[in-house]
Amino acid sequence: MAGTDFKDYYATLGVSKTASSDEIKQAYRKLARTYHPDVNPGNKTAEAKFKEVTEAYEVLSDSDKRKKYDQFGQYWKQAGTSGWPSSPSGADASGFDFSQYGNFDEFINELLGRFNNPPAGGGSRTYSYRPSPGSSGYSGFGGYADPSTPAGQDLESNISLSLSEAFQGVQKRLNLGSETITVRIPAGAKPGSRIRIKGKGQTHPYSQNRGDLYLVVDIRPHPFFQFDGENLVCEVPIAPDEAVLGASIEVPTPDGTVTMNIPAGIRSGQTLRLRGKGWFNSKGGRSDQLVRVVIAPQPTSARLSGSTMRKLEQIAVLIHAVT
């Protein structure tokens, strides 16, 4: 491990390694007011310094994190000279294994719960997070003021759903690193919609208040349905005689099949509308399902009729709906 990997958080805050928690807090508040982005708008150097002192305070203000940080510092020095300890797995006397980290950043990221790697062998699904749009990444001091309850940073993460899960609603277990939570995704979630999970964002190092977590919905591609704004679109094959004479056909919708009348003389590529059979809309009702009609070649012994093709298509849709 290179010596430049390690960051001296005591030096960052300008305190000694024996500093009390009050001394650490006082040093942080002074530096945070100096370098806060509200005081230094557009100053990237001050912004980087603010992040640095906030990270240092987040570690040193917590007794458990501070203890692990101090132990890591001792092992870092030993690794830089004679290598990692010879004890099993590189663990120290308390059983904490520092040799599992390739560099200082890996250690700090895990210590602060920044990255959430799924455990070996499975378990609940883990999501990666990023600052939520509109969140500066800093909260708190309001310029020169010194409020008593600054908020934590909001975070954002994508969540992938099948079309059936998004339509019906579903419960998902999320691994946030230090905790696992169960989240209820409401019925009718749309691609790109944001679901707010209150109080599950990043913890502010000074006030210990937490921001919110926003889940951005991503609906996996479906073999039959596609989105067109708030409406759903699908494509249904019909036979030439059905196009000429008209017919009543069954069409899959998100909540079952319905009968739709095909007018005589319809042309391939024309779109019919099933009102109220699409997706949930902002008014509390259902949008429309748009059905694009495709005239299939005249069936022969080697081809399937339009009704047979639709039956097979309906079976495929039902199978996909439960995956």
Q: Considering only CA atoms, which of 277, 285, 244, 283 is closest in space to residue 260?
A: 277
Chain centre to alpha carbon of residue 187? 18
Contact 92, 56 (CB under 8 A): no
Averaged pLDDT, 281-300: 83
H-helix or E-strand containing 41? none
Contact 217, 166 (CB under 8 A): yes
CATH number assigned to the domain comprising residue 254: 2.60.260.20
Longest pairwise C-alpha distance within the chain: 91
At what angle are helices 44-60 and 63-81 packed, to 10 degrees?
Answer: 100
* Residue % of the chain over a pLDDT of 70: 68
Per the structure, the count of domains in the chain is: 3
The whole-number pLDDT of residue 146 equals 43
Decide which of 220, 238, 273 is a domain's last residue: 220
Decide which of 191, 220, 249 is a domain's last residue: 220
Burial group, residue 11, by CB count within 10 angstroms (0-12, 13-18, 19+): exposed
Q: Assess whether 129 and 98 both reside in one domain.
A: no
Residue 99: band (very low, low, confident or very high) from pLDDT cuts 50, 70, 90: low
304 phi-psi bin (left φ>0, alpha ψ -120 to 50, beta other): beta
- Assess if residue 303 is contained within a domain: yes
Tokens at residue 30, please?
């002074």
- Assess if residue 134 is contained within a domain: yes
Bridge partners, 252 (sequence order): 257
The whole-number pLDDT of residue 174 equals 85
- Write the single-letter amino acid at 126: T
The whole-number pLDDT of residue 118 equals 38
* Residue % of the chain over a pLDDT of 90: 26
- Assess if residue 144 is contained within a domain: no
Burial group, residue 152, by CB count within 10 angstroms (0-12, 13-18, 19+): buried
CA distance 210 to 208: 6
Q: Assess whether 130 and 97 both reside in one domain.
A: no
Tokens at residue 227, please?
């989105």
Q: Assess whether 208 and 101 both reside in one domain.
A: no
The sign of the dihedral angle between the CA atoms of 103, 54, 16, 59 is negative
Domain housing 178 = 123-138+150-220
- Highest mean pLDDT: which range of 1-15, 53-67, 129-143, 147-161: 53-67
Residue 139: band (very low, low, confident or very high) from pLDDT cuts 50, 70, 90: very low
Q: Assess whether 188 and 255 both reside in one domain.
A: no
CA distance 323 to 317: 10
Q: Assess whether 193 and 240 both reside in one domain.
A: no
Long-range contacts of 111-118 (CB under 8 A, 24+ apart): 111/59, 111/65, 111/68, 111/69, 112/55, 112/58, 112/59, 112/65, 113/176, 113/177, 113/178, 114/177, 115/177, 116/175, 116/176, 116/177, 118/175
CA distance 152 to 202: 5
The whole-number pLDDT of residue 289 equals 95
Contact 223, 316 (CB under 8 A): yes
pTM score above 0.75: no
Q: Assess whether 108 and 170 both reside in one domain.
A: no
Question: 149 vs 164, which has greater pLDDT?
Answer: 164
> Does residue 292 surpass a pLDDT of 60?
yes
Q: Assess whether 110 and 216 both reside in one domain.
A: no
- Assess if residue 215 is contained within a domain: yes
CATH number assigned to the domain comprising residue 70: 1.10.287.110
H-type alpha helices, 82-192: 104-111, 163-168
Q: Assess whether 131 and 71 both reside in one domain.
A: no
- Assess if residue 145 is contained within a domain: no
Of 130-139, 156-165, 183-192, 247-256, which range is least confident?
130-139
Decide which of 220, 252, 274 is a domain's last residue: 220
Tokens at residue 13, please?
């805050």
DSSP assigned state of 239: -
Chain centre to alpha carbon of residue 152? 18
Averaged pLDDT, 58-82: 76
Q: Assess whether 3 and 96 both reside in one domain.
A: yes
Question: 27 vs 93, which has greater pLDDT?
Answer: 27
Q: Considering only CA atoms, which of 217, 219, 113 is closest in space to residue 156?
A: 217
- Assess if residue 143 is contained within a domain: no
Q: Assess whether 186 and 246 both reside in one domain.
A: no
Q: Assess whether 36 and 51 both reside in one domain.
A: yes
Q: Assess whether 208 and 181 both reside in one domain.
A: yes
The whole-number pLDDT of residue 276 equals 93
- Assess if residue 73 is contained within a domain: yes
Assign 240 to helix, strand or coil. Answer: helix
- Assess if residue 257 is contained within a domain: yes
Residue 279: band (very low, low, confident or very high) from pLDDT cuts 50, 70, 90: very high
Assign 171 to helix, strand or coil. Answer: strand
Q: Considering only CA atoms, which of 319, 164, 309, 294 is closest in space to residue 250?
A: 309
